[in-house]
Chains A and B, each alone.
Chain A
Amino acid sequence: MRVFSNRKFPGKLIVVEGIDGSGKSTQMSLLSHWLRSRGFGVLFSEWNSSPLVRETTRRGKKKDMFTPTTFSLIHATDFADRIERQILPPLRAGSIVCADRYAFTAFARDTARGVSRRWVRNLYRFAIRPAIAFYFRVSLDVALGRILGGRDALKYYEAGMDLRLSRDVEESFRIFQGRIIEEYEAMIGEFNFQVIDATLSIEEQQTQIRAIVEEKLDLSHPNGLLKSPWRGPLNGQPSAAHLLR
């Protein structure tokens, strides 16, 4: 089965994937600031952020309205809107687009919720194949430690509480995110993930990432990539310092 559109664009799509607490957002932020300092136009698209859909997702989560199927479909709707408006047009214009989570998040999460693997891959067939997909590999314990240290509580759906795996939210998180890690691991070959050891220091990870981007995007001969004189804040993207706060 063909997954993703094979259309070619002058721009380049870079995505980061991994479970919550893997540090992918920090790395993406550092990467996009570096790319911009090199003079490239960079746009940013975040999972679950479509202005048309986001509020509905929030309400559905709050009222516990989702089944695995509708949870999958509402995220695909959000993604479709971002593809049509935030991702595809800039890629056609020659921009670098950085996506914090992409269709792979849906493949991993929805499958972990019991949705058919085949069906969810078909659902996202309109997605654009990324130039680079980074996967931040981290153990459950490390991720859990980072999340519990940084936020007030584990969220209901992120912990897979809707699946009634356990009454204990931490236990449920372990089981559910454990399944997600298995799905990610199985996708490494299928989608040619660039695996980053997310237990390395932030600086070491960033050095590896920049080297991969430099080579894959051939930044010294960036044919078709849009140059941007603009060095101001990125659209909606928090700085690395903000993410670590």
Chain B
Amino acid sequence: MSETIIRIEHLYKTFGTGDGKVEALQDINLDIQKGEIFGIIGLSGAGKSTLVRCINLLERPTSGKVTVNGQELTAMKEKDLRKARRGMSMIFQGFNLLMQRTALQNVCFPLELSGLRGEKGWREKRARELLEMVGLPDKADAYPVQLSGGQKQRVAIARSLAEYPQPQVLLCDEATSALDPTTTQSILDLLKKINRELGVTVVVITHEMRVVEQICDRVAILDHGVIQEQGDVSEIFSNPRTEAGRRLVMPGGEKIHVLPENRLVRIVFNGAVASEPIISEVGIKLGIRLNICAADTRTIGGKAFGTMVLSLPQDETEAARALIYLREIPGVTAEEVTDLVQ
């Protein structure tokens, strides 16, 4: 199962020279496994789009190595690189469909590029099958302007799979960021389906936590051109170790001003059983009332992940008892916080 399909080693990308020099990416190291959905998440300006363009070398890295499917792309000449790019494909935030072509002709486009010119009937048959797979069998003759955002992205996905033999890697650059929540959901489901049914490795670039949470197996957090942390999604979500990680996992959970007389405790749900009413139990079993100051939790596969900040009672002994109790619950870690939260 764990066979590396994309390997990035010590990748740097610098724009400009001299005073205007911008270090867009610094010492990026990533191993993406065959068949997984890998997320790269970061706020805007973190370098996500540059990073994904360094994978298919639309952007040439300043230094470092990119290997896809055993081929070292960074060592290739432009001509071989073009051939190698056919083994992976890309979808975009802005869809980037050819406006003067119908949906069907758009899907045929990569096949025309690879020189399968004489076989128009075959191309169109393949394109129609793909349009059917993405759920748009009746839109073959529609022009992009006649399609909604979600439909355009479906056509783009069909186009990304059209190349023959089928691409093994699909790079998604903020593919759902221009879509409304319902449409985003349906596109994510489609990406998941492609991943499961066709075995395509999917790399998802996004600034939306929700996207990563829903479809990714593993995730890397990119901040200011540096990978802050990477690992299984559940692990990173339950226990972000870095500042950047916390900012992303708990958006809006920035500075909370607290009453100075109360002690605070941060509890981290690390896979506790979601249905267990932990906070109420403290109240019932110990007779101690805890106040929830901030919370950002989510349930993934019946387990609770996330953090909560509780204020302890003023009474010292009660506070200590509550802390001990919380620490003993499996799947929960509790630590006292002394300063302003986050």
Co-assembled chains A and B: no
Which B residues are closer than 8 A to A by beta carbons? none
